[in-house]
Amino acid sequence: MSLTEIESGAVDAGLEPKQEIAGKSPWLLAMRRLRQDKASMISLAVIILLVLAALLAPLISKWTGHPFDIGDRRFGLDRDGLPYGPSGRHWFGTDSLGRDVFIRTLYGARVSLLVGVVATAIATVAGVIVGLLSGYYGGPIDTVLARFIDVVLSFPYLIFAIALVAILGPSLWVTILVIAFFNWAAMARIVRGQTLSLKEKEYVEAARSLGGSDGRIMFVEIMPNVLAPVIVLASLMIPIAIVFEATLSYVGLGIVPPTASWGNMLSDALRTYQVAWWTLVVPAGFLLITTVAFNLLGDGVRDALDPRTERIFAMKRKKDRKAVEKQEADARA
Amino acid sequence: MLRFIIRRLLLAVVVMWLVSTGTFLLFFIAPGNPAKTIAGPKAPPQTVEIVKHRLGLDDPVIVQYGHFLGRLLHGDLGYSFFSNASVGSILAGGLQATISLVLGASVLWLVVGVTVGVLSATRARGVMDRAATVFVLGGISMPTFVLGLTLSFIFFFKFEQWGLPYLQAGGPAPDITTDPAFWLNRMILPWITLATVQAATYSRLTRGSLLDVLGEDYIRTARSKGLTERRVIYRHGLRSALTPVLTQFGVDIGALLGGVVVTEQVFGLQGIGQLTLQASTNGDLPVIIGVVLLVAAIVTVANLIVDISYSFLDPRVRLS
């Protein structure tokens, strides 16, 4: 009789559990902790709303009858050629060419989110691969890669990004690649550090003695264990990438008009904001809300994935439970 | 020690060589024909040929590369395609404005950042800490140009409109020696703009580092000796907590001296960053390449200084 049979026999003998006890993986625990964090949940809701707005932008544009690239011929600009303020027709007013600011802001969200997510994804993949290779192999490969990472990290990236874009010519994909190029190094450094300590662990030794190839050890054994810091950094990289795109577009080296991006809208607003505050406030407000939401969510994810914070969350739960009990007691009284 | 310094120096030379070779290659990746740009859009082909010959663009690549490196070693960065001024003199003018901006702002952000960081670390989870968290979140989420535009809209445009004494928000950075009051007036808004973002990062760094240090054994020893909390934190804790902050400071100063693109552009300071921007919209390759090389040199030297001084500051750093 095997051990499991004895165990199952013991359960049969009248101790049948009422419900199956699910094992709680660290990921599940992290998800539970994240759900308890109010700031993160509000941020997540804001981000979901933004994504929806961005996806539905063409529909909303059609529905309101305002295109993002052509000005309203009759009600876009007043007799002096100045933009109109917010009204029932144009919710957030019009810009210097009589275009609807609300619709352009929604189209801008498409660009910001696309650039933020895609650039971060590319930077993450590149950073993880370089970090794993550098940390795992060590030796001359590590010396070269680690030094290269340091060099990329220490250079003022905006100057180099501008020089690069000036030479390649601005476009959406150049913007994404430039941002990814200046973000992968931070990821690579973190992954390298983790890999350096993980590769000495017994389970890696075990995998190696079972004949696991280097590639398998790196990507199947080590990689899942560096995912937590990678996810945290990636979620904090998205707002950085969004600001970077806005900055590049603002100085005229990112998204090329007439495509709307928050950066080039703000750049246009420079000429009009003294008579039309909404051209500055609306895109700037959206930009700020988006980056704050991503930063808050990123902070929340970091806290949720850090086992050391479990104590704080447990305290919070206890406090919440007490508050509920007190409420119930009050209600009964 | 000497070996360490020599190794770092050699590495710096290698980095500079790689960067200069990289920028040289950019000349060839760049679309368009510089000779044609200089000669003008309607110039006859003969003129373009002459310009091309004068620039040495018809030599073999390897010869051009040799000339390029030779000129660099003499500190000759060539001439702007547009103004015909030497790139060296253009950069020198820009560097002066950038130094004005960065040094003034660095005092501000170091004081604010470290103070906020210490306050929020010593009163962790208190009201000060919460307020500091909001400040940090705002600081890192706010794009620099949004902050700069907002500040100049309120303190320049609106204050002038309301008849209040207002701050200057445009024009090249003036020389401090000619009119210090005017210099101060014009630089305050750019300083605040640049310092806010930096201060947010620094207070986060100080907080984390101080909290780590306060958990160390020697702090418990200091406390059990009966020292006042004040003495424990400021004399024992802060001293080692500030080492990473100072390292970051060195790296940042180096990186920022290479141009603070956005702040300079918003306030029209005509520093290195704004020069880069203008050069890139004009397609002025010699200036772009000059900036890249200058920035690379500044950053490399700054990192060298940080590395070396770090090994003096913290004896635990192995000189490998």
Q: Which tens digit of pLDDT belongs to each residue from B139-155? A: 877 888 888 888 887 88
Share of chain A above pLDDT 90, in %: 5
- Cα distance between residue B302 and residue A165, in whole Å: 26
Dihedral sign for Cα atoms in the order B176, B181, B185, B186? negative
Dihedral sign for Cα atoms in the order A13, A18, A23, A29? negative
Nearest CA in chain A to B153: A274
Going by C-beta distance under 8 Å and a sequence separation of 6 or more, which residues neighbour residue B248?
B201, B202, B205
pLDDT for residue B129: 77
Q: What is the mean pLDDT of residues A72-79?
A: 65
Q: What is the mean pLDDT of residues A311-320?
A: 62
- Cα distance between residue A70 and residue B316, in whole Å: 64
| Whether B276 and A154 lie within 8 Å, measured CB to CB | no
- Please say if the pLDDT value at position A28 is more than 70: yes
* A165-196: pLDDT as tens digits: 877 778 888 889 888 988 888 889 888 888 88
Work out the pLDDT band at A311, boundaries 50, 70, 90.
Answer: low
CA distance B317 to chain A (A): 17
| Whether B259 and A292 lie within 8 Å, measured CB to CB | no
pLDDT for residue B319: 46
Residues of A in contact with B273 (CB under 8 A): 158-159
- Please say if the pLDDT value at position A123 is more than 90: yes
- Most confident of the following: B4-8, B84-88, B201-205: B201-205
Work out the pLDDT band at A120, boundaries 50, 70, 90.
Answer: very high
- Most confident of the following: A64-73, A248-257, B21-30, B192-201: B192-201
* A209-246: pLDDT as tens digits: 888 888 888 888 888 888 888 888 888 888 888 888 88
Q: Rg for chain B (alpha carbons), in Å?
A: 24
Dihedral sign for Cα atoms in the order A187, A188, A193, A198? positive
- Please say if the pLDDT value at position B320 is more than 50: no
DSSP state of A77: B
- Please say if the pLDDT value at position A135 is more than 60: yes
Q: Which one, of A243, A225, A280, lies nearest residue B261 by Cα?
A: A243
Q: What is the mean pLDDT of residues A287-305?
A: 84
Q: What is the mean pLDDT of residues A37-58?
A: 86
Share of chain B above pLDDT 90, in %: 0
Q: What is the mean pLDDT of residues B49-63?
A: 73
pLDDT for residue A199: 82
| Whether B26 and A163 lie within 8 Å, measured CB to CB | yes
- Please say if the pLDDT value at position B81 is more than 80: no
Residues of B in contact with A269 (CB under 8 A): 149
Work out the pLDDT band at A118, boundaries 50, 70, 90.
Answer: very high
Work out the pLDDT band at B184, boundaries 50, 70, 90.
Answer: confident
Q: What is the mean pLDDT of residues B98-124?
A: 86
B26, B29, B50, B261 from B86: Cα distances, Å: 20, 23, 21, 21
Q: What is the mean pLDDT of chain B?
A: 78
pLDDT for residue A90: 67
Q: Show the DSSP H helices in chain A as ranges.
A: 3-12, 26-36, 38-64, 101-137, 139-154, 157-168, 172-181, 184-198, 202-209, 214-216, 223-250, 262-272, 278-305, 310-332
- Most confident of the following: A7-21, A75-89, A117-131, B36-50: A117-131
Which of the residue ranges A280-289, B117-126, B216-225 would you say has the lowest mean pLDDT? B117-126
| Whether A295 and B140 lie within 8 Å, measured CB to CB | yes
Q: Is B150 on the interface with A (CB under 8 A)?
A: yes
* B159-183: pLDDT as tens digits: 777 777 767 766 666 666 677 777 7
pLDDT for residue A20: 62
Work out the pLDDT band at A71, boundaries 50, 70, 90.
Answer: low
pLDDT for residue B28: 63
Residues of B in contact with A162 (CB under 8 A): 261, 276-277, 280
Distance of CA A41 to the CA centre of its chain: 14
* A94-112: pLDDT as tens digits: 777 767 778 888 888 888 8
